[in-house]
Amino acid sequence: MVVPFGRTVWLDDLVGVVMKDGKPFKLHGVMVDVTGRREAESRLNIQKELLEWIATGVPLKESLAALALAIEKHLGDLRCSILLADENGLRLSHGAAPSLPEAYWRAIDGVAIGDSMGSCGTAAFRRELIVVEDISEDPL
């Protein structure tokens, strides 16, 4: 079922037949929202698939791209990129960004890790979540 704002809701429809004189008389039913369970099962399936890929040697870039797409699917209207720290912990390099323009990820590839070094460099430096709602307006 799709509800307002385009959100999908999963329902289990439980129905029982009430008999009278050996014949169906009426139905009693209830609908149970199982969206949370369905979403959790889906996340677990994605985790399992990604772990299998890693265990069987699927290249890291391919696994990261699948992870980014899974995050986008589950969190809705957003685009995901994954950056990797270099061996020295000084710069971030492109890991995956399957839904972002190549020009975007090329522009942030190699960004320095440091305070006020964009949202990604700052997050890596502070080791905390940095949320930027509008990258064209936010100083990070």
**Tell me: the pLDDT tens digits for 90-106?**
999 999 999 999 998 89
Mean pLDDT of 47-68: 89
pLDDT greater than 70 at residue 1: no
User: Taking a C-beta distance cutoff of 8 angstroms, is the pair 20, 33 a contact?
Assistant: no
Q: Which residue has the higher pLDDT, 54 or 29?
A: 29
pLDDT greater than 80 at residue 51: yes
60 in the same domain as 10: yes
Q: Are strands 82-85 and 92-96 parallel, antiparallel or unpaired?
A: antiparallel
Model pTM score? 0.67
pLDDT greater than 80 at residue 63: yes
68 in the same domain as 97: no
pLDDT greater than 80 at residue 76: no
Number of domains comprising the chain: 2
40 in the same domain as 85: no
pLDDT of residue 139: 84
Residue span of the structural domain in which 23 resides: 1-75
67 in the same domain as 94: no
> What is the residue whose two structure tokens read 């522009």?
107
pLDDT of residue 5: 66
127 in the same domain as 86: yes
66 in the same domain as 134: no
pLDDT greater than 80 at residue 42: yes
Q: Are strands 11-20 and 23-33 parallel, antiparallel or unpaired?
A: antiparallel
Residue 23 — very low, low, confident or very high, per pLDDT cuts 50/70/90? very high
What is the distance between the alpha carbons of residues 119 and 9, in angstroms, rounded to a whole number? Answer: 33
Quick one: CA torsion of 102, 105, 109, 113, rounded to 10 degrees?
Answer: 180
Mean pLDDT of 74-88: 88
